[in-house]
Structures are given as C-alpha cells and as structure tokens.
Structure 1
Amino acid sequence: MDKQAIQQAAQALLDARARGVMLQQLPRGCEPADFAEAYEIQDAVSEALGAVGGWKVGAKEPGAEPTCAPIPTSAIHESGFKMPAYTAGQCGIECEIAVRMKHDLPPRGRPYEHDEVMAAIESVHPAFEIVTYRIAAHAHVSRVTLATDAFGNGAFVYGDGRPDLVGMDQTTQQAMLDVDGERWVEKTGGNPAGDVFRLVTWLANHVVVRAGGLKAGQFVTTGSCTGMLFVDGGEELRADFPGLGVVEMSIGLKS
C-alpha cells in the first residue's frame, strides 16, 4: 500500500470520527493486506488525533500473537467521566485491567525482558474501554481491517491504581459489570489472553520499533474481562474488580 492510500484511509476514518457517522467500508484500494499496513493507517490517524496517552493490547487466547492500537490522550478520562451521547450506533462496553507506566522504555539494541517491563509499571487499575466503531460492518470484517480503526477505541476510563498488584493473576480476578444498578455480567478470569502482563511485554517491544517506546504516565489496557456488551445511551455504568477497585462512568442519552 502506498502512502497516498494510507492517507486516504486515515482521512476517511478521521472524517467519520469528526462527523459521528460510520463508513460502509474503507475507500476502494485502501484496504490493508496485513497488520503491518493496518498499523500504518493507525499511525496516520493517531498523528492527527494528537498525543498518545496509552495503548490497548489484546490476544484471542494464551500464546496468541497480540494486536494493539494507540489511545489518544483526549480519549482518556478518570472514573466518574460523563461521556456525551454517541449517535452512530451502540457503544460497546468492556471492563478491563489496565496498567500505568512508571518509567520510559525507550529504543535500544535488544528486546526488553519481561522482568524489565514489570519493573517499569507503576500501578494496576480497573478500567472501562468504550468501543465506538467507525466501520458499519465491524462484525463482518477482518481484524486486519478493524485494526485500521484502532479496533473501535472510543474512550478509556480508569479508576484508582494499586501499585502492590503489579503482576496480579488475571485468571483468578473477578469482574462484575452493573448497568443502572442491575448486574449484567460477572466473570472470573474472563480475559481470553490469560496472563495480561505477557501482553504488556509484547507491546513494549512492539512500540519500541514503531513509536519510540512506551512512556512514563501512559496507560496500557489489556482486553476485556467481561466480553463486550452494547448499550444504547443514557446508562450509568459501574465495574467492580474485588481487591483491585471500582470504576464508574455514564453515557449521555440520545436526543
């Protein structure tokens, strides 16, 4: 894919974000052939959205190759965030375990080892990722295509952090989602990736090559512990990770 096609795909996604609409598909000739091309489109969109405040990373199963996307600083919010109404379809809600970096992990001549990445993490946080797709047929397109749209990232909301839980075992962690005071889902070890800290190590080495490395203060959110559930707007959301913490937010009611 040449630079013109990358920029054309990125501009279509940026226009969809700005207008609050969905694309039926990427412009003809701008479909990525692989993740390398998809990440180039991601990077072009990310550059236009401003500073990167974090990353999302996930894997479909333990040992599977992860995928990732940058999160702009403008999309990161503390618990209690009141999200404006989303008008281009439903919002996907994912309850996640996130980390915040304490130290930079800059480029160097060899990969970062797992213990080095763990030592660079400041704290572990309960979090929401809000998924707002820019591609209408998101349920029927490839993950390579979804990657161009940052896998639908719309917002990231985090609760208070726990520095003493770096290295916690996600597979034994309970996660509960309440919507308007009603329990929607309750799972233990619900993230299919298993060890979420493996994902952070992979991301650290991926980002070194691609974006100059993880930075102190950036968040890394590691995939859903509850699956994705969709809401229409007007909801009060509360995610409880017993022993880790609580994160809350609301979504505006559509007019």
Structure 2
Amino acid sequence: MNIQTMANALAEAEHTKQPIAPLTETYGNITVADAYSVQLSQIRKKVDAGAKIEGLKIGLTSKAMQEMLNVYTPDYGFILDTMLYDEFEGLSTDLFIQPKVEFEIAFILNKELKGPNVTVQDVIDATAYVVPAIEVIDSRIADWKIKFEDTVADNGSSAGAILGKKRTLLKDIEDIANIRMVVKKNGELLDEATSSAVLGNPLNAVVWLANELSEYDISVKPGMFVLSGALSKAVPFEAGDEFEADFGVLGKVNAVISKEVVKK
C-alpha cells in the first residue's frame, strides 16, 4: 500500500479544491492503520513546512454525526495553526471544497495526556478550562462519499476551528454531560442538543482520544486543545450565513461566512 501516494492525492485535492474519488475505491482494501499513516504523513509534511499543531479533533462521537455519514466509530485528526479562525473575521467559502460547520465543546489542557490507561479523572486534572467551539469540516473526497478509512486518511475531514472567548473551569460546571446547546443560523433556531450526545459525556471522548493516540506514541501536550465532538449534525454553509451556538454557562461562539479570503 503506497501511503505517500494517497497522502499526495489528498494534499493535491486540498490545494486545488478539486475533490477525488474515495481512497477506498481507488486503492482498494485500506486498513485503519494505513489510513492513520496517510493522515500522519500529511500532518508531518505540513509541520516540516512550518505549521504548528495547536490541537486535535474527535469526530463521529454523536449518533447524529454517525448516522449522517454512515460511519459508526469515532476518529481523530489534527488542528494546525493555519486552520484557526477568529469569531466574526469572516470565514471564506473559497478556502474549502464542500464545507460544513459543527458545534462542540473544546478542552484546553495545561498538563500532558498520554495513554494508554488515561481515565476521566486524568482528563479533569489536565484540563485548564473549556470553551464553546465551532469546527469546520470539509472532505477532499467527492460528494462526502466516505468510508471510515477515507475520513481518517483525510485528517478526520477537518478543515478549521473557531474557539469561543469565554473560559469556564470544570469545577464551575454542575454537569459537563448536561450542557444544553442552542444553535441559530441567520438569527433563526437551527438545532438543539445536549453534551451527553458526545459518547454520553464529552470527558469520555477526550479519554478515548488520549488512549487511541498512544497507539502511535502521540500525546496531547500542555497548551493544546481538544475538540471533543459535535453535539448535533454538521450544517453546510454559504457566503452570507451567520451562526451562533449558545452553550449556556459556557457562553457563545459565532461564525460569519464571507466570500472574500481574509486569511491564508
């Protein structure tokens, strides 16, 4: 299996904004290990070129997202500094191929998390604070026709992240598994969900991630953040859209969609 060939194909699709056929169709029987090797190959190349790993995303943690993409196992990907956006700066549609937004809780760490055998208490102890977040997902695979191995190879279909400004300590949250989220699109109610949609508790998702990463001797470093997974279905966007996700005690996070490229 030519890992580099697949990595190059995805990188070219990202660069040209021209999606490719599913890797699982073009290259046949790709294992999950192959897929993560493809992912890591791309990330290492970007880091070697000067990018910095700022965080990680966990995908496919909620029933809504699993059913939406017909993929029923969580996965993960990396968030680089080149993928971070500020609220209200104008997220350009020109940067992506077929993007969607997801709404989730981000954990910012001040201690290293390194599996195996990471527990919920370990995650609590390592968390500096949490913030509301929006993840931009995109697929370099045409029409989102992905199998699990396709999205894993494609960096968990990640494309960007917006972190909310309000910082909340875990000790100030009565129940992190019972955070109610209300999402508005262009001022109108779009969706509602609770944080229990994410593996029963977002803390469980971070535990899962830390232990999965240990398979590749990777840890979540102090100062990094973890996007713990979407509470509800991902939503396509176009220029002119505005999104607001209200996480109650955790505060709000916004995304404004523009046509003009304002970053990168």
Q: Give the TM-score normalised by the residue count of structure 2.
A: 0.83
Distance (Å, rounded) in 2 between the aligned partners of 1:85 and 1:112: 38
User: Which of the residues 138, 141, 144 maps onto 1:135?
Assistant: 141
SS at match of 2:103: strand
> Alpha carbons of 1:233 and 1:90: their partners in 2 closer, same or farther (altered >3 Å)?
farther
Q: 1:163 to 1:104 in 2, by over 3 A?
A: same
Corresponding residue of 2:68:
none
Equivalent residue for 2:127? Answer: 121
Aligned-pair CA distance for 1:223: 1.2
- My pick for the range that moved more, 27-36 or 153-162, is 27-36
- Please give the per-residue CA displacement for 1:177-234, whole angstroms capped at 9, x wherever unaligned: 2222222112234624221111111211222342531111111111111211111222
More helix by share: 2
Contact kept? 1:25, 1:137, Cα under 8 Å: no
Residue 79 of structure 1 and its aligned partner are, at CA, apart by: 2.9
**Identity over aligned pairs, percent:** 24
- Aligned residue-pair number: 247
Question: For the residues of structure 1 that align with 2:44 and 2:10, how far apart are their CA atoms?
Answer: 13
Residue in 1 aligned with 2:108? 100
1:154 & 1:166 partners in 2: Cα distance? 31
Deviations 1:138-177 (A, max 9, x none): 2x33112111112321111111221235876454211122
Cα drift, residue 66 of structure 1: 3.2
Q: Distance in 1 between matches of 2:225 and 2:88?
A: 18
In structure 1, C-alpha distance between the alignment counterparts of 2:62 and 2:193, rounded to whole Å: 17
Q: CA offset at residue 15 of structure 1?
A: 1.0
| Residue 19 of structure 2 is aligned to residue 22 of structure 1 | yes
In the alignment, structure 2 segments of 5+ residues that lack a partner are 64-71
Q: Secondary structure at the match of 2:139?
A: coil
Is 1:11 the counterpart of 2:8? The answer is yes
Q: Say whether residues 1:68 and 2:76 are aligned partners.
A: yes
User: Is the Cα contact below 8 Å between 1:128 and 1:158 reproduced in 2?
Assistant: yes
| SS of alignment partner, residue 93 of structure 2 | coil
Q: List runs of 5+ in structure 1 lacking aligned partners.
A: none
Q: CA RMSD in A?
A: 2.6
Give the 3-state SS of the residue equivalent to 2:190 in structure 1.
strand
Q: Which moved more, 1:82-91 or 1:230-239?
A: 82-91
Q: 1:223 aligns with which of 206, 224, 229?
A: 229
Any conservation in 2 of the 1:190–1:226 contact (CA below 8 Å)?
no
SS at match of 1:154: strand
Checking the alignment, whether the CA contact within 8 Å between 1:104 and 1:214 is kept in structure 2 is yes
**TM-score of the pair, normalised by structure 1:** 0.85
Q: Provide the C-alpha distance between the structure 1 equivalents of 2:149 and 2:121, rounded to a whole number of angstroms.
A: 30
Q: Name the amino acid aligned to 1:206.
A: E
CA distance in 1, matches of 2:199, 2:233: 12
